[in-house]
Structure 1
């Protein structure tokens, strides 16, 4: 799959990595375990499954085998984006968020961009870092630190898989979100074993989510999600509270 070429800027004689960002904004996390929590979102440009442009939807479905180019409505194109160094981006997130120390890295596909340097910069600013990924890229490929010889991964990983489980490279995750009907829980039974287990009152937290695809068939998809959850109670129905509350 195509990856975005890392950008660099030259400062003196030193070449520095930069990160191309569409937007940084303060809002509420709308989904999952942290729904309702104040957060700073960072949207990186680019995705390895869809170009982001209308003209390439069908072509990218054929190219990647993913269904999401047919209905994705996120704007992660490069137009209007900004390049930051790791320190600049961490500082910008802090300025936008004020006292908020929860940031969510999303896209597009953020694992095309993030690395150990950015993770260290965000942790130096005392952020709890979450990521929303499609699962097709590895954490080690993005966030391994050669200098520290360890994985500098985000603190919380939400995966919404967009390819069959045999083609997913993500090593582990905390929450799994399946968008029905194009993707179904039964198709990811092996992949769910990669979930890191979190507990409350000595019992595992149920962090497997079924999310109805938005759009013209939303009502039908909501009924399907409810039926699937009632049949398989280890799964929960995901509610997009940011849309109910009308926040970005």
Structure 2
């Protein structure tokens, strides 16, 4: 009963930032997009003093190096219609939006996806894979799943802990997360085709920071031995856009 009530409520969305930029990674790199950063993550609190604690508690490496700001300070609350309107005002003619975090599926629901679709948006999401679409995006009113149009998963836990039913793109941050650790989860990839051939859309992204050169070489070496994978290049950093 509690779960059903959560799905039905027109809950407020806590948003850290909304901005227009270029998608810097993956299949849509270079495409104008409106990014929506949602508050909160289930693997790290977002505060410096909890990095080691959260890493040990969740058995995840990401709290040690994550540099994303998704804490509640300076955030704003919206309902689904208000948030869709705010995204429309920022994006203007751009109808490609990316829901990110933190972990956006902690907040995203069917009401928000419907509101964005009604305003003509193609909705992409960046998730760590620990939240089920069935739990987050099921519409009790319509009795069906209303998910984002495109799902990019960057897992931060072992594959047995991943609840995401399917994804379109998989991004592993090396050296902490490697292809052999996610061989079963890779089978959840949704098929996307160009000219009759399936797009791999399996990415290895070097961890940024002091050891980026070594991480980059590792990603290159793995891809050269595993042609279904690609090296992810963060073009937004090369282009110096936010």
Q: TM-score, normalised by structure 1?
A: 0.94
Which of the numbers 213, 221, 227 marks the counterpart of 1:227?
A: 221
Unaligned runs of 5+ in 2: 1-5
1:58 aligns with 2:49: no
Residues 23-79 of structure 1: CA deviation (Å, up to 9, x unaligned):
000000000000000000000001000000000000001110111000000000100
SS of residue in 1 equivalent to 2:24:
coil
Which residue pairs with 2:78 in the alignment?
84
Q: Which aligned pairs between 1:1-248 and structure 2 lie closer than 5 A?
A: 16-248=10-242
Structure 1 runs (4+) deviating above 4 angstroms are none
Q: Is the 8 A contact 2:10 2:111 kept in 1?
A: no
SS of residue in 2 equivalent to 1:148:
coil
SS of residue in 2 equivalent to 1:182:
coil
Could you tell me how far 1:206 is from its partner in structure 2?
A: 1.8
Q: State how far apart, in whole Å, the 2-side matches of 1:246 and 1:47 are.
A: 26
SS of residue in 2 equivalent to 1:103:
strand
Could you tell me how far 1:17 is from its partner in structure 2?
A: 1.4
Q: State how far apart, in whole Å, the 1-side matches of 2:202 and 2:159 are.
A: 15
Q: Aligned pair count?
A: 235
Could you tell me how far 1:201 is from its partner in structure 2?
A: 1.2
SS of residue in 1 equivalent to 2:221:
helix
Q: State how far apart, in whole Å, the 2-side matches of 1:194 and 1:206 are.
A: 12
Residues 160-186 of structure 1: CA deviation (Å, up to 9, x unaligned):
000000000000000000000011111
Could you tell me how far 1:115 is from its partner in structure 2?
A: 0.3
Q: TM-score, normalised by structure 2?
A: 0.96
SS of residue in 2 equivalent to 1:223:
helix
Could you tell me how far 1:16 is from its partner in structure 2?
A: 4.1
Q: Is the 8 A contact 2:10 2:80 kept in 1?
A: no
Q: State how far apart, in whole Å, the 1-side matches of 2:88 and 2:184 are.
A: 38
SS of residue in 1 equivalent to 2:204:
strand
| Backbone CA RMSD of aligned residues | 0.8
SS of residue in 2 equivalent to 1:52:
coil
Q: State how far apart, in whole Å, the 1-side matches of 2:171 and 2:142 are.
A: 32
